[in-house]
Structure 1
Amino acid sequence: MTTPVYLDYAATTPVDPRVAEAMARHLTLDGIFANPASRSHMLGWQAEQAVESARRQVADPIGADPREIVWTSGATEADNLALTGLLRANRARGRHLVTSLIEHKAVVDTAKALETEGFEVTWLAPGRDGRVTPDQLREALRPDTVLVSLMAVNNELGSIHDLASLAEVAHAGGALFHVDAAQAVGRLPLDVERLGIDLMSLSGHKAYGPKGVGALYVRRHPDIRLEALIHGGGHERGMRSGTLPTHQIVGMGEAFALAAAEGEADQTRIAALRDRLLAGLDGLGGIHRNTDTAVSVPNILNLAFEGVDGESLLMALRDIALSTGSACNSASVEPSYVLKGIGLPRTLALASLRFSFGRFTTEADIDRAITALRHALDGLRRQAI
C-alpha cells in the first residue's frame, strides 16, 4: 500500500525523532519518570529539573524569562486562560475585548462564551490578505478595552500580522496584547520584548513536539493577573493546577530548541517546495490564491479551484493528506469561516483546499501531489461539463 503524501502540517506536525527520543527517557522506571512536584526525594527533584530545563528551552526562543512560561495542555487551553482568566480577573477595570473574525476557534469560541458572561467583544474584519491593520484596531479601542487578541499566523491562510505595530496601538489605548502563536514557532522570529506581547499561547504539536502540551507566556513586569480556570494544588504560580506531564514537557522543550536552531533553514527549503507546487499547477487555469504569499509564512498555502467542490476534490486525492475548512452537517455544507471572513465568494470558499508543508516534506512528495491534483481536477471538471 502506498504511503500517503502528508501535506497537512498546519493541522499537526509529526513528532521529530529527536524529540521522541528525549521523551522516551522520561517515561519508564529506568528513566526520569517521577512527579515533578514530589520534592521529598531525588527522583522528584530530577523530574523537576527536567521540567525547568524545558521551561527555559521554550522561553529562550521567544526572549522570555522562564518564570513567565505557564504549562498548559495545549494552545487551546492557553487561549482560554489568556482571555477568560484575564478578563475575569480585571472585570473591575473594563469588560471589552477586541479580536478578529478569523482567529482560531479557541479564541473565537472563548470570546463568544465571554459575551454570555456580560463581556463585550468587537469583532474586526480583516482585509483580503487576512490581516487586521493598526488603524482598524485603533478605531476599535475604547476606554474600557482590557485585552486585544490577534494571532501571529493564521492557521488557514498563513497570513502574518504586524505584531509590533498592533501591540503599540493596543498599549497606547491602555489594553494588553495577547497573541496566539501556535503556527508561528520556528516560522517567525518571536521576541516578546521587541514585539510588545503581554500574553502568548504556544503549542507543542505544531512545532514537531507532542500533542497534549502547550504553554502560555505571561509577562511578569508589569505583573499580569489571571483568574485560574483549573484548581487543585496551586501549580504554575497558581495559574494552572495539575500534575505536570514530564515527558510531554521535555518533548515540547526539545522541539522548541530544534525550532530555534533549524527553523530559518526549514522555512527557506519549504518556500522552495511551495513555489514548486505552484509552478507545477501553472497553466491549469481557474486556480485562485487565497493566501497572499507576500505576507504569509511559506508553509501554508490556501488555493481555490474553480469548477470543483473542495470536498469532492479532497475525496479524489486519496493519497494526499490535505484539509478543507468546510464544516459539514446533515443540513448543509458551510464554507470555512476564515475564508468567509476575508470576503471570499461562497463558491470559491467551498472550492478551497489548504496545503501545508513541513520539515519532512520532500520534492518527491510535491511532485506526487502535482500529478494527483492534475488528474483529479481534470476528471472532476470533465464530469461538470
Structure 2
Amino acid sequence: MTETGEFDAVMRHALDLAARGPEHGVNPRVGCVILSPVGNVLAEGWHRGAGTAHAEVDALSKLEPGRASGSTAVVTLEPCNHTGRTGPCSEALIAAGVTRVVYAVDDPGQASHGGAERLRHAGVDVVAGVQSDAVGRFLQDWLTAARLGRPHVTLKWASSLDGRTAAADGTSRWITGPAARRRVHEQRASSDAVIVGTGTVLADDSSLTARSDDGTLLPEQPVPVVLGDRAVPEHAAVRQHPNSPVFLSGHDLAADLIDLRERGVRTAFVEAGPTLASALLREGLVDELQVYLAPTLLGGSRSALADIGVGTIAEQRRLELDRVERIGDDVLIIAHDPHPRSLNRWTTERAAPATGDAARRIPPAPGPTTPSTPQTASQGA
C-alpha cells in the first residue's frame, strides 16, 4: 500500500470510528485503524473524551506486545506530541514499532502539534492529507477553537423578508413556523453553550433550554451564557436551567469568548438581539450565520442588525454562502465569514510572520464595549 489513494477507504472508516466519540468538550473526536504490513486490519480505536486514551493508544492497547511492529496507523488527526492528561501519541506509535502513519489534517494546537515531525525524525514514514476535506468538515468546530483560541461561534436570528425581528410593539413570537423552531432547539442541543444578552433574558424570560415539540427537555442541554451588566432576577427562567448559567459582563467580547473556551466550550450558539449580534459581527467573532427568513413583512425599525462598522458599500461584509434550506414555510440561509478573528496569539504569529522584534510584539486587540441593554430579538427561544 504505497499510494495515498489506497488509504481513502480506511480513512473513511477511521472517520466513522471518530464519530463514536463525544460531540461536546474541548477534545477532538479522533479515530484510528492499525493495519498489518499486508493491509489487514489489526485493531481500531477512537477517543472517548478528555482524560481517556487517545485513538492511537486505544487501538494499540488491543494488540499484544510486538504485534504492531511494521504496521501502518491510519488516523484522522495528526498524532499529538505533548503530555497532557495522557502521553504523546507520537511516542506511543514509535515505541510500538509502527513504521508508517497516515493522517488527514494537521493538529493546529500550540502544545499538541508537531507529531508528524517527531515521527519523521524517528524514521517513520508519514503521509498527510488523506481525505482531508471530509475530516476537516467533521472537525470544523474543534479546528476553529484550536486555531482561533475561542469557541466556534454560530449567530442565529429569525426575521421577516424585510429583515425585521419584531413588530413595532416589540412582539416577536412567532415569526417563523414550528419546523424552524424545532431546528433551533436541535441546534441548541448540539452546542456546548447558548449565548444571549441580558436584554433578551429580561424581555423574554428565555429559559435557553433545548426542548422537544411537547416542551420536554432534550437529553443534551447547552450551558446558558448571559452577557451584560443588568441583574437577572432570581426567579428568571434561565436560573432554572439544568446547567448552571454563566454570567459575563459583555464589556470585552474577545475576553468573554476566551473565558468560555477555558471553561470547555467548543461551540457557542448565539441568539441575541441586534446590539450584541452586531458587536460580535463588528469584531469578526462570528464563524457561521444561520438566518431564518419567514415569508412575512413587518416594516418598522426593529431590524436584525445595528451598526456593524459598514459606512459605505465598499466596506460591506461579504460572506460565503454554504447552503439554503426550506424548512416548513421558512427558509434557512447558512453562511460563514471567510476571515474570522483569531484570539490565539500563537496562531496569529504563524499566520502573519514578521521580522525582528516586531514579530514577537503583538499588541492586545481592543475589546468591544457592548452596551448592557441589548435589544431583544430572541424569536425561537
Name the TM-score, length of structure 2 as normaliser: 0.29
Would you tell me which structure has more helix in proportion to its own residues? 1
Higher strand share: 2
- TM-score with structure 1 length normalisation? 0.29
